[in-house]
Amino acid sequence: MSSDDSVSHLHTDDWESEMEQLLAETEYDTELGLEMAKDAQRLVAGELSEAEFYERYHGAVIEEFGVDDRPVVEAFADSEDGAGLLESLAELEEGGDLPRREAMKKLGAGAAVLGLGAWATKENTDVATAAAGEEDDDEDGMQYGMVIDLEKCDGCLACVTACSQENNTSAGANWMYVFTYEDDDQDGENFLVRTCQHCSNAPCEKVCPTTARHKRTEDGLVLTDYDVCIGCRYCQVACPYGVNYFQWGEPDVPGSELDPDHVFDGRGRRVDSRPPKGVMGKCTMCPSRQDGIHGEDKVGTTACEEACAMDAIHFGDMNDPESDPNQYLEQVRSEKPNDHEHFPNRSSDTVSTFRLLEELGTDPNVVFVGNEPGPNARQVEGPVSYEDIGEVDRRKEVLDDGTFGGGVAP
Ligand code: SF4
Ligand code: SF4
Ligand code: SF4
C-alpha cells in the first residue's frame, strides 16, 4: 500500500502509539489489530476491496482467535474473480467425480493466491453462491440515524445525563458526548454533539473477528452482541470517531439491577444497556425502544432526543423522506437562514449541514445542522461541566488536536 493514499494522514505516529498502548492492554495481538484497523479504513475509503481485506487477514485471525467469523466467503463471492471461481468449484464438486484437490488444480493459481483453498468446503461454496445471487438492498431498507441541530444546542448536557441513566453506563463511558469548542472561523462558543454515527460502511464491523460488532439488517443500527464480544478492542482502534468505551472492571450498576426489558433486543440478543466486564460498549440508539419492548409510543425515540428541551436531536429513518429527521432538515432548509431569534448561534447566511468525517467513506448516519468544526477547533469548558451533572469526562483526558481533524481518539 502506498504511503500517499487518502487515509494515510490519519495514521500519524501519535495515533499509532496511542493505539498500540490501547491494544497492548488486551491479551490479543497488537500488531494485527493495528494493521487491520488501518486496512479497514482503507477498505471503507475504497482503496482496498472487501475480498482483499478479508483474505489478507484470514490466516492471522484464525491463528490469533481460533476462528474467523467475518463474512470472508460472502466478500469473496462478491468479488470479480471470486464469483466465477466459486461457481466453477461448486459445479466441479456437484459432479462428484472430481476430488477437491483436482478441482482446485483445475481452477488454477487464482484460487490459491486468493486463499480459496483454505475454506473451499461444500458448505462455504453454497453460502457463497447464495450470497453472489443476492441483491444489495441496503439503499432501500430502513436506516436509523439522527439529524442534530448544533445551532439550537446550548450545551446543557441533558442528553448526556439521559443516556447515562437510560443505559446505566459506568463513570467515564460517555456514549453521548457534547464538545464545547472555539474555532478561528466561528464566533463564540460552539457545540458538537457526538453519538456513534451508526455508519453504513462501518470499519469497526469489518475488523471484528467474532461478528459481535454487527449492523442490524432490519434498521441499520450498529450494535455489539455482549455475549459474543471477546474484548479484543479492534473495533475501537478501527473507528475514526472515538466512540467506543471498553468496560474494564465490574460495571457501576450490577446486572441484577438492570431492567431485563432494556438488555435484549427484539431478536433476543444482549445488545442494549451497559456492557458487562471485559466487553465493548458504545451508543446503541436504543434498540429495545425501537423493537417496541417499551411500548409502541417509544418506537422511533431515543433517550437523548426526549431529554433535549431545545429540540436539537431528531431520530428516525434516514431513508424515509417523511421521517422526523428528514422533515426537520427540509423545514430548516426552507426557513430564513438568518433567523437569529430561533437560531441564536447561526453565524452564516446559509444553512450549513455536514456529516462528520464523511470524506473517509464511512457513510455516517448522523447529519448535523450548523458549522463543521475546523482543523484548529479547540475544546474549552462548556456552560455546564460534566462534574456538574455527576459525570466523569474521560474524553477530555484523551482529546486534543486529533478529534476534529480526522485523527483518532480512543
Ligand atoms: S461511529 Fe465508529 S463505532 Fe460507530 S458505526 Fe461508525 S465506525 Fe462503528
Ligand atoms: S466487538 Fe468485541 S470482539 Fe468485536 S472487535 Fe470489538 S472488542 Fe473485539
Ligand atoms: S440536550 Fe440538547 S441542548 Fe442540551 S447538550 Fe444535548 S443536544 Fe445540546
Asked whether 43 lines ligand 1 (CB < 6 A), one says no
C-beta separation of 300 from 290 below 8 A: yes
Q: What is the pLDDT of residue 374?
A: 87
Please report whether residue 112 resides in a domain. Answer: yes
Q: What is the DSSP string of 102-113?
A: HHHHHH-HHHHH
- Is 173 found in the same domain as 106? no
CA distance 136 to 107: 27
Could you count the other beta carbons within 10 Å of the beta carbon of residue 58? Answer: 18
Alpha-carbon span 37 to 146, nearest angstrom:
26
In a domain, 189, yes or no: yes
Chain-centroid distance of CA 48 in Å reads: 19
Task: State if residue 222 touches ligand 1 by the CB under 6 angstroms criterion.
Answer: yes
Same domain, 54 and 201: no
- Is residue 57 within 8 Å of residue 29, measured between CB atoms? no
Do 122 and 24 fall into the same domain?
no
Q: Residue 332 corresponds to which cell in the numbers above? A: 430548516
Buried b (16+ CB within 10 A) or exposed e, 72-100: bbbbbbbbeebbebbebbbebbeeeeeee
The answer on 291 and 228 residing in a single domain is yes
Same domain, 81 and 127: yes
Write out the three cell numbers for 7. Answer: 487515509
Query: Does 369 contact ligand 3 (Cβ within 6 A)?
Result: no
Residues 156 and 99 in one domain: no
The DSSP annotation for 274-335 comes to S--TT-EE-----HHHHTTTT-GGGTT--HHHHH-TT--EEEEETT-TTSHHHHHHHHHHHS
User: 94 and 209: one domain?
Assistant: no
> How far lies 78's CA from each of 73, 74, 83, 114, 215, in Å?
9, 6, 6, 13, 18
Ligand 2 pocket residue status of 203, Cβ below 6 Å: no
Regions of the chain where pLDDT drops below 70:
1-10, 80-139, 336-340, 343, 346-350, 396-410
What's the CATH code of the domain at 189?
Answer: 3.30.70.20
- Domain end: 110, 134, 158, which one? 134
Residue 182 and residue 193 in contact, taking contact as beta carbons nearer than 8 Å: no
The minimum-distance atom of ligand 3 relative to the CA of 304 is: 1
Instruction: Decide: residue 32, CB within 10 A, 0-12 exposed, 13-18 middle, 19+ buried.
Output: buried
- Alpha-carbon gap, residue 225 to 47, rounded angstroms: 29
- Whether 366 is in the pocket of ligand 1, judged by its Cβ within 6 Å, is no
Residues 218 and 278 in one domain: yes
Ligand number, closest to the Cα atom of 356: 1
**How many domains does the chain contain in total?**
2
* Residue ranges making up the domain that contains 117: 49-134
Same domain, 185 and 292: yes
Reported as a single tens digit per residue, the pLDDT across 262-317 is: 999 999 999 999 999 999 999 999 999 999 999 999 999 999 999 999 999 999 99
- The secondary structure element, H or E, covering residue 189 is strand 186-194
Closest residue by Cα to residue 210 from 230, 239, 237: 230
Domain match, 212 and 169 both: yes
Picking from 197, 207, 210, the residue whose alpha carbon sits closest to that of residue 50 is: 207
Does residue 115 fall inside a structural domain?
Answer: yes
Would you say 168 and 273 are in contact if contact means Cβ atoms under 8 Å apart? Answer: yes
Protein residue closest via CA to atom 5 of ligand 2: 208
**What cell does 276 get?**
458487562
Is the domain of 37 the same as that of 59? Answer: no
- Is residue 5 assigned to a domain? no
Mutate to test the pocket of ligand 1, among 38, 196, 224 (most ligand atoms within 8 A of CB): 196
- Using the Cα atoms of residue 127, residue 133, residue 138 and residue 141 in order, give the sign of their dihedral: negative
**Given this model, what pLDDT does residue 407 score?**
37
Q: Which of 95, 116, 134 is the last residue of a domain?
A: 134
Q: Are 232 and 69 in contact (CB under 8 A)?
A: no
How many angstroms is it from 167 CA to the middle of ligand 1?
Answer: 18
**N- to C-terminal Cα separation, the chain:** 25
Query: What pLDDT shows up at residue 110?
Result: 43
**Ligand 1 close to Cβ of residue 244 (< 6 A):** yes
**pLDDT, tens only, 278-292:** 999 999 999 999 999
> What was the pLDDT predicted at 127?
54
Do 356 and 234 lie in one domain? The reply is yes
